[in-house]
Structure 1
Amino acid sequence: MATPGTGPILGGDATGASSHASSSSESDSASMPAYVRVILLGAHGQCVLMERLDDSSWDLPYFVYPSRFEVEQVCQDVLQALAPQSTNTFFTVNCDLFGAFGCLGRAKTSSDEDLGIAALLLVESHGHEVQAPSRYSWKTAVEVADLRDDDDLYQSTAVDIVCKLLSGDASSVLSVVVDPRYQLGWFNRAASWLSSFVAGRGAAVRGRVTQVQVSPAATILMVDSTAGVFYLKAAGLGNREVQLTQTVSSLFPSYTLEVVATHVDLNCFVSPAFSPLPDDTEYTRYAGLLGQLQIESRQHLDALLVAGLPDRCPAQLAAELLKWVDDDLLRGWFGHPLRYARLAKYVPHLVTLCHQLTRSAVPMTLVHGDVSRRNMAVADEDRPLLFDWEFACIGHPFYDWHELHTELSDKARRVYLDLYLDSYGKYGTVDELQSLYSAGRTLGWCIKMWHSLEQARACDVEFASSHMENFLSYWELALDGLMEVGPPGVPRDVGPRWTFG
């Protein structure tokens, strides 16, 4: 068990959890230590637990991890620190209110060794009221406000957030916890419904419901039962993943996970557990699976659009890209004017790729939007499946190779392209399809950028937006693809690149 300031946290997703594409900037941030402060509100939300540093200074309960962390490990560390003698208490994380925010540690030295990623977690206690060790004390909003240090952006922002949560003003609190998943009591409601669902199937719950993931995109819970393991996935505010997953599961049950229950108010769905891919998996099988799903989906495009899948066809994407060259939110995200100027410089060339796809004979299909090894699995009887439909849309099928291009072999790509060359009607020569493939897999990153921007506009309450980090990471990957594809007239990229930090 880790202790405050020392415990290791392992990165990566658990079975069934979603994650974003890897990139150099995300790798940079993932390798930094995580400085985690915890907001634990007392009864009726009128006080917050603080840790005594010395006779005159206080801080929120503080933990340090070598890199980005797993939710359940943090909850175990909070339990060990704040309620070590309790046998009937556990903690859950509601949200991270900082997001991708670089800061100095408690030592506040200017050395690289003290630079990490700040996290400000709103956590909730379940069971008995916490009787914390003597170095902790409950503080009111007035007492917390007196601790504000205007010379420390991290500390002063944390104080401002805590004071809003302690204000007692509903509108002030909702400005911080606008997503229902973030609000106190949500975990209890979701866990209770998940347990009731299991009981309705004539099964008994083993242990308690636990958290797997909490992010701006989704919250994932897990429960073990006599009928097997089930996952509950609740989408973020404004995210249509629940409806999209239910529709895809209904129309294409042999290609994706089974949705066994949904809850409108909780914006979630439940699916049985499935197995991760073995290390020796032959991915050619999944390339064929993806192509067959896309081709089959042509018969259901109207139903998919009615169900809420967005239209991201190349013409629509071109129109969206052109809007980005004069967007105040994006201008702020890029920060430096020269970095934002690269957007205006290269958007016209991405638009040219859109026009190339529009003129082709390859039809629009269902697009998964995030196909990668982490979103491939095996169900019962060795049935391959794709899951995690957060980025799903109607668009050009070759979008789906933006990550697979580097993950799968040339053989797998040939199996996939042969479907469009021979099996379902000839949509071009080998050279023509290869050119379209290059354009499509480059523009696939732009589909993710579009989604991240939409989500930020719908619900972006973090101090340092994770949506921003994702958008800019995908932008750099899109430019890498554009430089590699090298269509005529594309100037060399001389930067400046965006990197985290």
Structure 2
Amino acid sequence: MEDQEPDLVDRGRFDAAVTPWERAQWRDAALGWAERELSARGLRVTGARQVRLRPWSVLVRMAVEGHADVWFKANPPAGAFEAGLGEALARWVPARVLEPLAVDSGRGWSLLPSGGALYRDVLDRGPADPRAWEEPLRQYADMQRVLVPYAERIKALGVPDGRPDALPEIFDRLVTENAALDAADRGRLRAARPRLVDWCAELAATGVADSLDHADLHDGQLFAPGPGRFAFFDWGDALVGHPFCSLLVPARAARKRYGSDVLPRLRDAYLEPWTDAGRRTPADLRRAASLACRLGAIGRACSWTRLFPGTSGTVGAVGATENAYWLRQLFAEPPLLPAG
């Protein structure tokens, strides 16, 4: 657009991040694709674009004439599956996710509509409610249960394998490749590996089927478009694995905002849809949730490996440090969620 205002670029704490946005040819192709897709729907971009650059995504907010803003998102190669996954989820669980306006799954590009109020903003504006996470997690668990039959199809979209029996091998790779760990760190982690193997075997034996694990479900990853309604988004860290691993991040977010006393109720709200009419006991489910909350740290560690190619230096060091932090959290005591 000849009259396009200068882009407003936000790099956060990652001034040195390497993203494809810096390449004019890529930028022109990506924005051209987004504008053609909007034009095909009778929409026209107007005003400055707001660009958010991170080592793991390029996000562009576009003002659209006579319409709510839309977002273009590009993922790095290791997270490029998000575009196709978002399209599939809109078919399988349309009431629980955003329906993309367009996707290019080959290039990992998505064009997304406004989802309403971000849940973090809703929580910040309202009075403190220690039960605030309970209903979103019930609905999230319901969605995971619906997605159980689609687990293999989700894997076929390129979503990484995070099932319990795959986690020890993933752990080994992360420990070996992490540049922030010294020899003593690696020794301690490898010495604790038998505990990890036992936890994985016990979790797998619970009989809860694999599903989609968001792996980063904090209060900035869901919308609250209306009372009691929630839409989950941002699937770039996702795994196919034990669904209860998803509890780790929202439990930490709720603890930070409201304190540890909220955790038993939050856990039980999430577990309620998994009781299967009494075929699983609360004690069994709570034990599984405790194990999964530990093992979910591997998914968080993996997320820091899904960065744009060329990421190194200070930014790469941040990723390695975060990765190492989550590896250590695997064996933290006491566990975030007790088994009782």
Q: TM-score range by the shorter chain?
A: 0.7 to 0.9
Post-superposition shift, 1:431?
1.6
Q: 1:300 aligns with which of 150, 154, 158?
A: 150
The residue type equivalent to 2:44 in the other structure is A
The residue type equivalent to 1:269 in the other structure is S
Larger Rg: 1
Post-superposition shift, 1:188?
3.1
- In the TM superposition, 1:34-183 aligns within 5 A as 90=6, 119-120=15-16, 180-183=20-23
Post-superposition shift, 1:333?
2.5
Post-superposition shift, 1:203?
2.6
Task: Name the counterpart of 2:321.
Answer: 469
CA deviation map 1:134-162 (0-9, x unaligned): xxxxxxxxxxxxxxxxxxxxxxxxxxxxx
Matched, 1:250 2:96: no
Q: 1:217 aligns with which of 42, 45, 56?
A: 56
Matched, 1:434 2:296: no
Task: Name the counterpart of 2:266.
Answer: 412
Could you tell me whether the CA contact under 8 Å between 1:427 and 1:433 is conserved in 2? Answer: no
Post-superposition shift, 1:486?
8.5
Could you tell me whether the CA contact under 8 Å between 1:420 and 1:426 is conserved in 2? Answer: no
Aligned residues: 316
Tell me: CA distance 1:89–1:224, structure 2 relative to 1, closer, same or farther (3 Å).
closer
Secondary structure of 1:379's aligned partner: strand
- In the TM superposition, 1:265-280 aligns within 5 A as 266-274=107-115, 275-277=117-119, 278-279=122-123, 280=126
Matched, 1:309 2:159: yes
Matched, 1:241 2:82: yes
Tell me: CA distance 1:427–1:396, structure 2 relative to 1, closer, same or farther (3 Å).
farther
Tell me: CA distance 1:182–1:333, structure 2 relative to 1, closer, same or farther (3 Å).
farther
CA root-mean-square deviation: 3.0
CA deviation map 1:180-206 (0-9, x unaligned): 444233333323332333222223323
- For residues 215 and 480 of structure 1, the distance between their equivalents in structure 2, rounded to whole angstroms, comes to 29
Higher relative contact order (CA 8 A, sep 6+): 2
The residue type equivalent to 1:472 in the other structure is A
Secondary structure of 2:160's aligned partner: coil
CA deviation map 1:279-302 (0-9, x unaligned): 247322101111101111112223
Task: Name the counterpart of 2:240.
Answer: 394
Which range moves more in the overlay, 411-420 or 439-448?
A: 411-420
CA deviation map 1:321-373 (0-9, x unaligned): 24455x2x32x331x32222222132322222111101112222221111121
Structure 2 residue ranges without an equivalent (≥5): 255-261
Could you tell me whether the CA contact under 8 Å between 1:230 and 1:273 is conserved in 2? Answer: yes
- In the TM superposition, 1:350-429 aligns within 5 A as 350-379=196-225, 383-408=229-254, 409=262, 410-421=264-275, 424-429=276-281
The residue type equivalent to 1:237 in the other structure is P
Task: Name the counterpart of 1:143.
Answer: none
TM-score w.r.t. length of structure 2: 0.82
CA deviation map 1:80-101 (0-9, x unaligned): xxxxxxx9873666989x96xx
Tell me: CA distance 1:89–1:373, structure 2 relative to 1, closer, same or farther (3 Å).
closer
- For residues 112 and 281 of structure 2, the distance between their equivalents in structure 1, rounded to whole angstroms, comes to 41
Task: Name the counterpart of 1:449.
Answer: 301
Task: Name the counterpart of 1:116.
Answer: none
Post-superposition shift, 1:381?
8.0
Could you tell me whether the CA contact under 8 Å between 1:321 and 1:351 is conserved in 2? Answer: no
Tell me: CA distance 1:380–1:188, structure 2 relative to 1, closer, same or farther (3 Å).
farther
Post-superposition shift, 1:223?
0.9
- For residues 374 and 236 of structure 1, the distance between their equivalents in structure 2, rounded to whole angstroms, comes to 20
- For residues 105 and 274 of structure 2, the distance between their equivalents in structure 1, rounded to whole angstroms, comes to 38
Task: Name the counterpart of 1:196.
Answer: 36
Could you tell me whether the CA contact under 8 Å between 1:420 and 1:427 is conserved in 2? Answer: no
The residue type equivalent to 1:90 in the other structure is P
Post-superposition shift, 1:484?
5.5
Could you tell me whether the CA contact under 8 Å between 1:238 and 1:459 is conserved in 2? Answer: no
Q: 1:338 aligns with which of 161, 184, 206?
A: 184
Post-superposition shift, 1:460?
4.4
- For residues 380 and 260 of structure 1, the distance between their equivalents in structure 2, rounded to whole angstroms, comes to 21
Secondary structure of 1:205's aligned partner: coil
Post-superposition shift, 1:272?
0.8
Post-superposition shift, 1:433?
1.4
Tell me: CA distance 1:358–1:90, structure 2 relative to 1, closer, same or farther (3 Å).
same
CA deviation map 1:385-439 (0-9, x unaligned): 1111112222111100112223343333222212222xx3445322221111100
The residue type equivalent to 2:329 in the other structure is L
Identity over the aligned pairs, expressed in percent? Answer: 17
Structure in which a larger fraction of residues adopt helix: 2
Tell me: CA distance 1:383–1:362, structure 2 relative to 1, closer, same or farther (3 Å).
same
